């Protein structure tokens, strides 16, 4: 049996690509000798030039801003961002090298569509069925150096899903999905080089990876990990700011259970907040069973209804107000943050004693904010509700808490049933008074 092998070579003879050029016709004009099953690896820069993605820009930073959807990390002038194509990469893929002064080159607007056009053009011109991969250079987390990856593809199996099979020893494969298109892109980069003026490479011998779109793949977009599956979406110190700004109040949850370990990790973040006199004023009561949540919420509801009736509210008004508490009742997990003032100072002076309590309240709030942000970092939704503060004695009695534990609201936790609403933009300057 002949062992598997393939051949890869750079395609010579391509002219300088200009705006409006047909990449497929330029390739065909070199008489490349393509056969069915070949894969062409095309550097994104020549595709961008042909598609008139050379744009005027006052400076590269302005162009990066315009192409950025989300900043993932920043160090000095270097930015790792998610761009309009959904790719996470340095500088949004904006290239200022080998372009006229005052211009930059952007990535193709739709690299998968670009690959389709090249593939269709080669079929029409040369009568061959080939795969096409549009490549660009990426850095990688935890790895030094650059490599080419696929940002667009047509007629190529971009992912080879081996899950459900077995290895040579019969062990089941449960997580193995091979990024075939990226492997092809890297192989092509070995012969194209970064400065050799050879923007296209050909791979022959892997025809089993080539086929019609219904058989092969839907394009390189399938290589981009979704936000829900991205374990490192909020990974760096810069991303902590992203977690803070992206935290939202979630009022509708799915039935999916909450991992208690995730909540405990959030508590670990909460208790790193600052506090006066080296104290630890935070306590978190975690209601993990439906029975404990129902018992607390029923008692709180009864106390609230009694208060509203004493205030002379109508039954209709009472029912409406009670429904506002449904966010707690519908959540699969509740946490009740409490404040304790162990270690506080007593001055015997009302003004100073009031300030002392306020310091502990602020510290507890800082802990709750840490908790909410950490919950968001665990990909969970939450809603802080103040209701336990209005019936502290009831909460202490039901939860059998010490008399010096002051409940400071309750946090509903769960998996969001729908994407949270966009928060209206706020001008930070409106909240600042500089002196």
Residue boundaries of the structural domains of the chain? 7-53+107-229, 247-431
Dihedral pair phi/psi, residue 357, rounded to 5°: -65, -40
Second CATH level (architecture) for the domain 247-431: 3-Layer(aba) Sandwich (3.40)
> Could you give the 3-state DSSP secondary structure of residue 118?
helix
β-sheet bridge partners, residue 383: 412
Task: Give CA 110 to chain center in angstroms.
Answer: 21
Let me know: does 387 contact 409? Beta carbons within 8 Å. yes
**What is the model's pTM?**
0.65
* % helix, strand, coil for the chain, step of 5: 40, 20, 40
Let me know: does 69 contact 79? Beta carbons within 8 Å. no
- Kindly list the averaged pLDDT for each block of 10 residues, start to end, along the chain of length 435: 89 94 96 96 96 87 89 79 91 85 92 96 96 94 91 93 72 79 95 83 95 65 85 62 73 93 94 95 97 94 87 86 82 97 92 94 96 88 92 95 96 91 83 91
For residue 377, what are the contacts with CB-CB under 8 A and spacing of at least 6?
Answer: 234, 243, 266
β-sheet bridge partners, residue 200: 42
Q: How far apart are the first and last CA of the chain?
A: 81
pLDDT for 236 equals 57
Question: Which region holds residue 357: left if phi is over 0, alpha if psi is between -120 and 50, else beta?
Answer: alpha
Q: Which helix (H) or strand (E) holds 152?
A: strand 143-154
pLDDT for 216 equals 46
For residue 178, what are the contacts with CB-CB under 8 A and spacing of at least 6?
Answer: 159, 160, 162
Distance CA 311, CA 321 (A): 13
- Other C-beta atoms closer than 10 Å to the C-beta of 90 total 17
Max Cα-Cα span within the chain: 94
Pick the CATH number of 7-53+107-229 from 3.30.360.10, 3.40.50.150, 3.30.1330.100, 3.30.1050.10: 3.30.1330.100
pLDDT for 211 equals 82
Let me know: does 92 contact 65? Beta carbons within 8 Å. no
Distance CA 393, CA 405 (A): 10
Let me know: does 302 contact 395? Beta carbons within 8 Å. no
pLDDT for 256 equals 94
Alpha helices in 311-349, H assignment, sequence order: 315-323, 326-329
For residue 297, what are the contacts with CB-CB under 8 A and spacing of at least 6?
Answer: 325, 328, 329
pLDDT for 405 equals 97
Contacts by residues 59-68 (CB-CB < 8 Å, ≥ 24 positions apart): 60/91, 60/94, 60/96, 60/104, 63/92, 63/94, 63/96, 63/104, 63/106, 64/91, 64/92, 64/94, 67/92, 67/93, 67/94, 67/106, 67/107, 68/92
* Among 225, 50, 30, 49, CA closest to 141: 225
Task: Please provide the DSSP assignment of 238-259 as one string.
Answer: HHHHHHHHH--B---B-SPPP-
Let me know: does 67 contact 106? Beta carbons within 8 Å. yes
10 Å CB burial of residue 140 (0-12, 13-18, 19+) is exposed
């Amino acid at each position: 049996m002949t062992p598997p092998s393939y051949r890869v070579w750079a395609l010579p003879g391509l002219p300088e690509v200009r705006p409006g050029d047909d990449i497929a016709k330029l390739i065909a004009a070199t008489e490349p000798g393509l056969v069915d099953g070949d894969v062409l690896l095309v550097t994104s820069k020549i595709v961008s030039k042909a598609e008139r993605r050379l744009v005027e820009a006052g400076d590269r930073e302005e162009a990066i801003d315009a192409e950025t959807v989300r900043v993932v990390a920043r160090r000095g002038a270097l930015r790792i961002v998610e761009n309009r194509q959904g790719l996470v990469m340095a500088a949004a893929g904006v290239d200022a090298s080998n372009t006229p002064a005052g211009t930059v080159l952007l990535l193709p607007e739709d690299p998968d569509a670009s690959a389709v056009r090249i593939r269709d053009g080669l079929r029409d011109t040369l009568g061959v069925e080939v795969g096409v991969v549009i490549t660009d250079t990426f850095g990688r987390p935890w790895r030094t150096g650059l490599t080419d990856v696929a940002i667009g593809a047509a007629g190529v199996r971009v992912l080879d899903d081996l899950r459900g099979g077995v290895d040579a020893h019969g062990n089941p494969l449960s997580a193995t999905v091979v990024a075939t298109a990226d492997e092809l892109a890297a192989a092509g980069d070995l012969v194209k080089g970064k400065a050799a003026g050879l923007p296209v490479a050909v791979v022959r011998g892997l025809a089993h990876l080539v086929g019609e779109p219904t058989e092969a793949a839907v394009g390189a977009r399938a290589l981009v990990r979704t936000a829900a599956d991205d374990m490192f979406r909020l990974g760096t110190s810069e991303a902590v700011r992203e977690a803070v700004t992206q935290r939202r109040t979630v009022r509708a949850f799915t039935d999916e259970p909450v991992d208690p370990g995730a909540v405990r990790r959030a508590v670990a973040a909460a208790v790193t907040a600052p506090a006066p006199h080296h104290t630890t004023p935070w306590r978190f009561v975690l209601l993990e069973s439906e029975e404990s949540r129902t018992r607390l919420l029923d008692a709180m509801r009864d106390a609230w209804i009694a208060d509203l009736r004493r205030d002379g509210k109508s039954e209709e008004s009472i029912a409406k107000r009670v429904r506002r508490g449904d966010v707690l009742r519908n959540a699969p997990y509740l946490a009740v943050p409490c404040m304790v003032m162990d270690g506080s100072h007593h001055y015997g002076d009302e003004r100073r004693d009031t300030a002392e309590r306020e310091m502990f309240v602020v510290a507890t709030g800082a802990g709750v904010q840490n908790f909410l942000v950490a919950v968001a970092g665990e990909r969970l939704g939450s809603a802080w509700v103040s209701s336990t503060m209005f019936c502290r004695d009831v909460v202490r009695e039901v939860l059998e808490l010490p008399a010096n534990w002051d409940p400071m609201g309750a946090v509903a936790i769960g998996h969001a049933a729908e994407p949270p609403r966009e928060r209206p933009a706020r001008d930070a300057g409106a909240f600042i008074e500089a002196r």
